Chains A and B, each alone.
Chain A
Amino acid sequence: MGAIHRDEYAEASAQRDLTEDLAEQGIDLTRRDGVVQLRGHVETEERRRLIGEKIKHHFPDSEVRNDIVVVRANPPAEAEEVR
């Protein structure tokens, strides 16, 4: 029971840390069977790596699966007609 409580507070703390330290909002974190899964989009591979590192610090005994995607910056293929 204690471990569950610790995980809950660790998640809240980790999410605040992502925002207040790394200025990363919009990262989804889910916990399941000892695995912490990360999803979302960031601008660079390095920012992705830093988020994974930060989360591992909050969950040292869990496996962290970093499924965060580096979003592309290509020109659009088409325009949208707004009438």
Chain B
Amino acid sequence: MIRVAAVGDVHMDVDLLGRYRPALEQLPERADALLLAGDLTRHGTPDEARCAAQEFGGLDVPVVAVLGNHDYHSDQEEAVADVLREAGIVVLEGDSVCLQTAGGRLGVAAVKGFGGGFAGRCASAFGEPEMKAFIGVTERSANTLEKCLQELDCEVRVALTHYAPVPETLQGEPLEIYPFLGSYLLGEAIDEGKADLALHGHAHMGSERGVTPGGVRVRNVAHPVIKQAYSVFNVERSGR
């Protein structure tokens, strides 16, 4: 069994420094790793990333992050990632990492993901080039996630995204904005990649628990949803 802590949408800036730290100091006794599900900053600036690095760096457990849409807002996502990496945080995008923990090897495959919507109410690559480009981003992201998951040789495989892979964890959000909050393509990738658990953020007014059509548990760990510094999941390999 591997203990995975996770939170997303912490939106760090100078006004939040120290807010999470007391709870984070307890992590080593509660979890084997901490996963951050995007939106570590408010506007995606290196200064805000330094706040996130200060808050979530230097912990006694490995920290793995994927960026969210806020972290891209200032077009400095590479600089944001570099600041986090300098603090020892593993930042993934279309990539994976395998961590050796006391409970076995924990594999994390991560993409930010993108929107498009869910079965029966989703966008298609049709019409204007802007529409094709929109769906193209999600398709490439989902394909990469599936490939990264399949390549992981670990006891437990976790899919880490910012955008949602299923509509269940969006319940509470206005239906009209579901296509901006996630895509079924991510869920399909998580099923095909045989993940044991899928974690995402982004949907502040959504719900905590969902499941993919293939039976993979999905958890929305956006801070406003979990209402605590992080959630902990004790994950057993499903034997998929």
Chain A positions within 8 Å of B, measured between CB atoms, are 23, 25-26, 28, 40-44, 46-47, 71-83
Secondary structure call for the A interface: loop
Collect the chain B residues with CB atoms within 8 Å of residue A81's CB.
Answer: 234, 236
Closest to B229 in A: A73
A5 to B3 alpha-carbon distance, docked (Å): 53
* Chain A to chain B: the 5 pairs with minimum beta-carbon distance, closest first: A26-B204, A41-B224, A79-B232, A75-B23, A23-B42
A74 to B226 alpha-carbon distance, docked (Å): 11
Q: Could you tell me if B11 and A82 are in contact, using CB atoms closer than 8 angstroms?
A: no
Collect the chain B residues with CB atoms within 8 Å of residue A44's CB.
Answer: 15-16, 19
Closest to A45 in B: B15
- The tally of CB-CB contacts under 8 A between chains A and B is 83
Q: Could you tell me if A46 and B30 are in contact, using CB atoms closer than 8 angstroms?
A: no
Collect the chain A residues with CB atoms within 8 Å of residue B3's CB.
Answer: 79
CB of A71 to closest CB in B, whole Å? 5
Given contacts A26-B173, A26-B205, A40-B204, 17 further A-B contacts (CB under 8 A): A23-B73, A26-B203, A47-B15, A72-B228, A73-B19, A73-B23, A73-B228, A74-B23, A74-B228, A74-B229, A75-B26, A76-B226, A76-B231, A77-B228, A78-B232, A80-B234, A82-B236
Q: Is B185 an interface residue (CB 8 A)?
A: no
15 contacts between A and B (CB under 8 A): A23-B42, A40-B205, A41-B223, A41-B227, A43-B223, A44-B19, A71-B227, A75-B26, A75-B230, A76-B30, A76-B229, A78-B232, A80-B232, A82-B197, A82-B217
Given A23-B73, A81-B234, A76 contacting B204 (CB threshold 8 A):
no
A81 to B235 alpha-carbon distance, docked (Å): 6
A28 to B230 alpha-carbon distance, docked (Å): 24
Q: Could you tell me if B238 and A83 are in contact, using CB atoms closer than 8 angstroms?
A: yes
A40 to B11 alpha-carbon distance, docked (Å): 15
Of residues 212 to 240 in B, which have CB atoms within 8 Å of A's CB atoms? 217, 219, 223-224, 226-236, 238
